């Protein structure tokens, strides 16, 4: 237990100090935080519950639009803000900006949760690949449809309120960094605490054999919906933060960005190891470093690399980093292994 506290304290201190140690990387680190949140929430579905969704992007995009709309709509008429590509300029005072942001984030988290609850019964009744394709369709449909709605900017996009002039040049980066870091901490604590309850075991039971779980008297549907709602809550929150960070919302490219974010969250969770607590965190970090380190210098080849990466991970590395570590060093994960048995297994292979 002692060691755990040291670990978490170290991470917390690192997280709080990071923007001051690496001031140039603030935005990168904020994006990393958002990615971690997304990977962690995807893991609740895909990893623990066995419902591989491509549709969490729906909540992310919804949160993004809602946060920006509330932030604007609280003080100014939203329709005029977005009219003809956002030509009119309204300026938020610092108080208005922060109040709007706070309120916006609350709405961005709560409304997707409610939406998840409402559609959950219909969608989560689907099994396996039908569920996967259906959620893929949901995400794409949401993007296409929101791109036709005038009040949120339609095809012209939605420029979120610019950060007010407070403090130095660094203030904006720091604000968004701490916001997203807080989101990570909140998500992690929530996920960790639910993973130590009976709830997680139920989710795992659903993953392993849903019919049996049902036969044992578990109301699987109820738990599936709750699990999805938890995901939706944090996805919406992450979307709201990302919207403010990017500053410009486009329906298919930024908000309902299924082709990038929607795939990335799946990939990160699988890369790190699905069905583990730390896997998504590690997966997201490795992925982001890989992406920012090499990606930008590929000048076009990055998508080729991404395609190959997906295929290779899925075929040769489906257990992810944590799964690989667990196989290699099972004793470190608190598993007792009979040495003779292991050797026998290796020989068999």
Partner 1 sequence: MDFLIFQVPMLTLQATLDGVLLGILFALIAYGMALQWGVMNIINIAQGDLVILGGYIAYFMYLWGIHPAWGVIVSPFIMYFVGVGIYKLVINKVVDRDLFISILATFGISILFMQLMNFAFGADVVLANSGYGTTMLFDNSVTLPNSKIFSAFISIIFAIGLVIYMKKSKLGRAIRATAQNARAAKILGVDTEKVYAATFGINAALCGVAGALISITFTIHPYMGLPYTIRSFMIVIVAGLGNLPGVAMSGMGLGVFEEFADYILGTEFRIGSVFLLLVLILVYRRFKLSRKREYLK
Partner 2 sequence: MKINKIILSFISALALLLSTSVTSFAKVVGDKIILGSAISLTGKYSSNGVHTQNGYNMAVDRINSMGGVKVGGKTYKFEIIYYDDESNPKRAAQLAERLISQDGVEFMLGPYSSGLTKAIAPVTEKYGVPMVEANGASRSLFTKGYKYLFAVLAPANLYLDVAIDLAVEKNGGKPVKIAQAFEQDAFSQDVRLGILEAAERTGSKIIIDDKLPKELNDMAATLAKVKAVKPDVLVVSGHTKGALTAIRQIAEMKVDVPMLAMTHCDAAKLSKQHGKNSEYALCASQWHKTLSYKDKFFGNGMKYAADFEKEFKYDPPYQAAESSAALLVFKDAFERANSFDKKKVRDALAATNMQTFYGNIKFAEGGQNVDKPMVLFQVMCNADGSKCENKVVAPTKWASAKLIHPIPSWSER
Site residues (CB under 8 A) for partner 2?
3-4, 6-7, 10-11, 14, 21-28, 31, 84-89, 144, 147-148, 154-157, 159, 162-163, 169, 172-173, 242, 246-248, 250-254, 257, 260, 278, 282, 285, 289, 293, 296, 298-300, 302-303, 325, 329, 331-334
User: How distant, in Å, are the alpha carbons of 224, 249, 285 from that of 243?
Assistant: 28, 6, 21
Does residue 306 interact with partner 1 by CB under 8 A? Answer: yes
Neighbours of 346 (CB within 10 A): 8
By residue count, the chain amounts to: 349
Residue 140 contacts which entry, partner 2, partner 1, none (Cβ below 5-8 A, type-dependent): partner 1
Which of 303, 324, 329, 333 is close enough to bind partner 1 by CB under 8 A?
Answer: 303
How deeply is 156 buried, as exposed, middle or buried, from its count of CB atoms within 10 A (0-12, 13-18, 19+)? middle
Tokens of 43: 């893991």
Q: Which is nearer to partner 2, 96 or 113 (CB)?
A: 96
Does residue 151 interact with partner 1 by CB under 8 A? Answer: no
Q: Which is nearer to partner 2, 87 or 211 (CB)?
A: 87
Residue 253 contacts which entry, partner 1, partner 2, none (Cβ below 5-8 A, type-dependent): partner 2
226 Cβ contact partners less than 8 Å away, ≥ 6 residues apart? 199
Does residue 23 interact with partner 1 by CB under 8 A? Answer: no
Residue 4 contacts which entry, partner 1, partner 2, none (Cβ below 5-8 A, type-dependent): partner 2
SS3 159: strand
**58, 138 Cβ separation under 8 angstroms:** yes
At its nearest, how many Å lie between partner 2 and the CB of residue 249? 8
Work out the angle between the directed axes of helices 78-86 and 56-73 (0-180°, nearest 10).
Answer: 110
**223, 206 Cβ separation under 8 angstroms:** yes
Q: Which is nearer to partner 2, 3 or 198 (CB)?
A: 3
Cα–Cα distance, 185 to 251 (Å, whole number): 28
Chain positions contacting partner 1, by CB under 8 A? 52, 122-123, 125-126, 128-130, 132-134, 136-138, 140-141, 143-145, 147-148, 155, 263, 266, 270, 300-301, 303-304, 306-311, 314-315, 318
């Amino acid at each position: 237990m002692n060691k755990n506290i040291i670990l978490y304290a170290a991470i917390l201190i690192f997280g709080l100090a990071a923007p001051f140690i690496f001031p140039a990387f603030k935005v990168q680190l904020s994006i990393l935080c958002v990615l971690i949140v997304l990977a962690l929430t995807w893991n609740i579905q895909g990893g623990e519950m066995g419902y591989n969704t491509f549709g969490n992007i729906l909540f992310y995009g919804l949160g993004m639009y809602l946060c920006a709309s509330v932030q604007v709509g609280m003080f100014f008429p939203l329709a005029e803000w977005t009219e003809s590509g956002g030509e009119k300029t309204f300026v938020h005072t610092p108080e208005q900006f922060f109040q709007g942001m706070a309120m916006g984030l609350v709405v961005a988290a709560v409304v997707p949760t409610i939406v998840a609850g409402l559609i959950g019964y219909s969608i989560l009744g689907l099994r396996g690949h039908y569920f996967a394709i259906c959620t893929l369709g949901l995400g794409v449909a949401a993007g296409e449809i929101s791109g036709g709605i005038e009040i949120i900017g339609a095809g012209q996009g939605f420029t979120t309120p610019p950060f007010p002039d407070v403090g130095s040049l660094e203030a904006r980066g720091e604000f968004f960094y701490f916001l997203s870091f807080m989101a990570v901490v909140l998500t992690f604590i929530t996920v960790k605490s639910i993973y130590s309850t009976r709830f997680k075991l139920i989710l795992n039971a659903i993953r392993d054999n849903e019919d049996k779980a049902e036969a044992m008297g578990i109301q699987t549907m109820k738990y599936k919906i709750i699990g999805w709602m938890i995901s939706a809550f944090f996805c919406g929150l992450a979307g709201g933060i990302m919207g403010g960070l990017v500053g410009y919302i486009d329906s298919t490219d930024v908000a309902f960005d299924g082709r990038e974010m929607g795939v990335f969250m799946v990939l990160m969770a699988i890369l790190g190891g699905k069905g583990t607590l730390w896997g998504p965190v590690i997966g997201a970090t490795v992925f982001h470093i890989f992406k920012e380190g090499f990606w930008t210098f590929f000048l076009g080849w990055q998508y080729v690399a991404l395609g190959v990466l997906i295929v290779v991970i899925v075929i040769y590395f489906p257990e992810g980093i944590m799964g690989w570590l667990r196989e290699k060093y099972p004793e470190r994960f608190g598993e007792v292994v009979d040495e003779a048995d292991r050797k026998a297994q290796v020989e068999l292979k």
